Chains A and B, each alone.
Chain A
Amino acid sequence: MNRNELQSLIKTVIVDIAPDAELDELSPDDDMRDELDLDSMDFFNIIIAVSKKTGVNIPESDYAQVLTLDAMCSYVETHR
C-alpha cells in the first residue's frame, strides 16, 4: 500500500466515523481533531479502525504521533 492508498484508507475511516467531516479542507499536516472537529471518542474510533485495517497496533503512548494525516501515514509505514 503506497502513501496515496494509505491516505485514502484513513480518509475512508474518518468519513465512516464522522460522516459530515469536511475532508476537502484537511491539509496533511493539520491536527485532524481540530480541523475536522473530532472529539476524543471519534479519534479513538479512528485509531481502532486504522489499527484493524492496517494491522499496525498504535499503542496509547503513541497517540500523539498520529494526530495528522501525514503523521498517521508515516507511523503506519514505519511500524508495518
Chain B
Amino acid sequence: MKTLTMPSFGADMETGKVVEWCVHKGDAVKKGATVALIETAKGLIDMEVFEDCIVEDFLVPLDEEIDVGRPILGLQGNAETEAIALNNIETTPVESEQKVQQTESMVAVKRIEGIASPAVRLFAQKNQIALDGITGTGVDGAICLADLQREKPEQKVPAKAGFDADMMRKAIAAVVTKSKRDIPHYYLQLDVDLTEAENWLIETNAAREVENRIMINVPIMAAVAKALHKNPDFNGFYQNDRFQHAPDVHLGLAIRLRNKGLMAPAIHNADKLSFSELMAKFKDVVERAKLGGLKQSEMQDATATLSNIGDRGSDVIFGVIFPPQVAIIGVGKVNQKACVVQGEIVPRTVVNISLAADHRVTDGQMGARFLNDIQKLLNKPAKLAGGE
C-alpha cells in the first residue's frame, strides 16, 4: 500500500488537520484529483494525488492535529491495476501484485478541470446549494465561491475557514527568520518604463468587454516569468548546500489577505502563458487565496516569487526570499514621472522593480542583467502578450 502523508507547506508547518475526505474507500482517482481538504495555518488547502490510484483506507480521523509526514491516506495502484480500475470506476480496490514502497507526500501540478474545489463543495453543502446547473466562472469552468454567492446572494461566503491570524503570523515569522538567517541577500532596483506596455493595454482593453480586460500587473508578471526563464540562476531551489535549477517557471505571487495574512501560491508555467491566460490564472488564484480552495501543488511549487506592494502605495519593496527559493522580485507603485527621452522631458509611466537574490547562487551583475531583461521584455508588449 502506498500512503499519502500530511504535507508540509513550509519549514514552519508542524501539523495539519484533515477536515474533509473528498473521496470514498474504493474510489479510483485520477492524477490531479483532490482527495482531502487540509486545514493549516495558511488556510484550507486542496490535497491532490500525482498519479492514478485507488483509495484503500483513511488512516487518520477528521479534525485532529496530525504531524507533518504522518501517513493519512492509504492508496494502491500501479500501471496495470490503474487500467483495470479506471475502466470500472465504482469497483472495489484491486489488489496489486507488486508491493509498492511507501512514498512521500504525492503532489500533483495538474488542476482538475471543470469541477468545484472542496472549499466550494463544503460551502454548498453547508448552505444547501445544489452545484448542478451552476455555471462556473473559474479557470476551465470551475465553480468558484463567487458563483455560489451569485446564486444565493443573501448568503455570505464564510470568512476563511481554518484561518487563524495568529498562526499565520507565526508561520510568516518562522519563514522570514529562517530566510534572513540562512540566505545572504543582495538587493538591486531599477525604474522600469511601463509606458509602452500601458499604451498597448489601453488599446487592447478598449476592444474588450470589461470583464475581459487585462490589468497592468499581467505584463509585469509575464516579463518577470520570461526573464526567469532566460536567467535560470534565479529560478530554482537552494537545498543541501547546492543550487538546483527548476525546469519550469512557476511564479509565486505574494498575496496579502485582508485579515493580515500572506500567501504565495504559484502560477504554473507562467512564462508560457498569454496575457489572457495569465490574467485568468491571476484572478483565479487571488480569489482562492482570499476565499479558500488553493491546491497543495500551488502552495509548494513556486520557483521564484513576485511581490507587488504598489497597491499599498509604496514606491519600492525589497523582499525577503522564501526559502528554498533564491530570488524575490518586488514591484512598487506605478507612477507618472518626468523622464528625459531623446533629449525631451516627457511624462512616462514608471514602476520600480527590485530584486532580492541569494548571493550564494548569483552576483549583482547577473541580477542587473535580469532586471534589464524585464525592461526589454516590457518594451515590446505585443511580443510579450503571446500573439494576442
Residues on A lying within 8 angstroms of B by beta carbon are 16, 18-20, 33-34, 37-41, 44, 47-48, 51-52, 57-61
With A60-B202, A61-B202 as given contacts, are A48 and B210 in contact (CB-CB < 8 Å)? yes
Decide if B286 touches A41 in the complex (CB within 8 Å). yes
| Contacts A40-B215, A52-B210; A19 near B311 (Cβ below 8 A) | no
Contact of B217 with A20 in the complex, beta carbons under 8 Å: no
Mark each residue of chain B from 249 to 273: 1 if its CB lies under 8 Å from any CB of chain A, else 0.
0000000101100000000000000
Complex Cα spacing A58 to B282, Å: 21
| B23 is an interface residue with CB less than 8 A from chain A | no
Please give, as numbers and ranges, the residues of chain A lying within 8 Å of B205 by CB-CB distance: 59-60
- Chain B interface main SS type: helix
Q: How far in angstroms is the closest Cβ of chain A from B151?
A: 13
Q: Tally chain B residues at the interface, Cβ within 8 Å.
A: 23
Contact check, A40 vs B217: say whether CB atoms are below 8 A apart: yes
Residues of B within 8 A of A (CB): 149, 153, 156-157, 159, 201-202, 205-206, 210-211, 213, 215, 217, 256, 258-259, 282-283, 286, 310-311, 313
Contacts of B156 in A (CB 8 A): 19
A47 to B202 alpha-carbon distance, docked (Å): 15
Question: Which of A18, A34, A47, A61 sits near B210, CB closer than 8 Å?
Answer: A47
Q: Which residues of B contact A38 (CB under 8 A)?
A: 311
Residue pairs across A and B with Cβ atoms less than 8 A apart, 27 shown, are: A16-B149, A18-B258, A19-B156, A19-B157, A19-B159, A20-B258, A20-B259, A33-B311, A34-B313, A37-B258, A39-B311, A40-B311, A41-B215, A41-B283, A41-B286, A44-B213, A44-B215, A48-B210, A48-B211, A52-B210, A57-B210, A58-B210, A59-B206, A60-B205, A60-B206, A60-B213, A61-B202
